[in-house]
Amino acid sequence: MRPRVFITQPVAKSATERLRAVADVTWNPDPLHICTKDELIAAAGRSDVLFCLLHDRVDRDTIAASPGLKVIATMTVTPADVDVAEATRRRLPVTVVPGALLDDATADLAWALLLAVARRVAEGDRLVRAGTVPGSQSCYLEGGGVSGKVLGIVGMGGVGRAAARRARGFAMRVLYYDPRRLAAQEERELGLTWVPFGQLLAESDFVSIHARLTPESRHLFGSRELAQMKPGAYLVNTARGPIVDERALIETLEAGRIAGAGLDVYENEPHIPAALAKLPNVVLSPHTGSAVRELREAMANVAVDNILAVLEGRRAPNCYNPEIYQ
């Protein structure tokens, strides 16, 4: 009997066609619908392969209800919503995609949000669509400048490096904070200056978060840290939502203690607080750092590579819990 694969939302056609050549494939056809827990349990329970996306919560109950499951293949870099411990206990591989694939696309989006919130692009778009076109040289939509300002990057992994390279085109001074400091030569090549976290907050006109979510980085940005930022500064987060205390950010923005924020990630995705959505000085995007057509196709095909390896009895090339093979 052919293996059975369930895909939780539509992915690239080239990926599904590869799977259909060797397996019976079904999927949720609605790109706006995130499978409920009951739907996921039902689908996984009759499948050999669960191909899931960012917001799918594959918990212990879902795994327990799927005795025939051979692999949980995610299209994420970190399977934050998969109970990896339970999967590992059952010697069930959980696979991911390499983070380096997403570096440039995520850095591009960080810059899009930075520019949009500073130059009030989203506000202007809403005004024009509503029929209001203020005098183009009035003070109505004045925002913050970008060129020649100070950019502070928190987290200097692949995305942080890509963001730093883009700052050169804006003649920015780039500070960075990471517990692991780069080699001096790499700092020189990227035009970076390492500073303590508090100094970065105090001196940066823009703070862009590119850190990994760890127990130590959860709520790294709370009321105290946000209060250390310049009054006219902007916060950009394309990393992970829980790095920022969302309630503290809302209070800071409502009080006008910083100028604005550009956010692609949220603390309790896909839920976004109504208070955050109401703020005019915030630009929001729905976790679309990897939403580039050719990149998403590559990611889907990496997930298929992982699935095919497992179905063929090989070790998955991008296994998040490799201890199952010991």
- Which positions are catalytic? 240, 269, 287
* CB-CB contact of 28 with 261 (8 Å): no
Three-state DSSP class for residue 268 = strand
What are the tokens at 77? 């870099």
How do strand 150-154 and strand 49-52 relate by DSSP bridges?
A: unpaired
- Class of residue 104 by CB neighbours under 10 A (exposed 0-12, middle 13-18, buried 19+): middle
Report the distance separating Cα 170 and Cα 224, nearest Å: 30
Report the distance separating Cα 221 and Cα 250, nearest Å: 12
What are the tokens at 232? 């006219």
Radius of gyration of the chain (CA): 22
Q: Can you tell me which residue has the tokens 């203690």? A: 257
Report the distance separating Cα 324 and Cα 87, nearest Å: 9
Report the distance separating Cα 236 and Cα 213, nearest Å: 15
- Going from the C-alpha of 21 to that of each of 14, 15, 126, the distances in angstroms are 11, 10, 46
Report the distance separating Cα 266 and Cα 239, nearest Å: 9
Report the distance separating Cα 128 and Cα 84, nearest Å: 47
What are the tokens at 300? 């889907």
Terminal Cα-to-Cα distance of the chain (whole angstroms): 29
* CB-CB contact of 160 with 178 (8 Å): yes
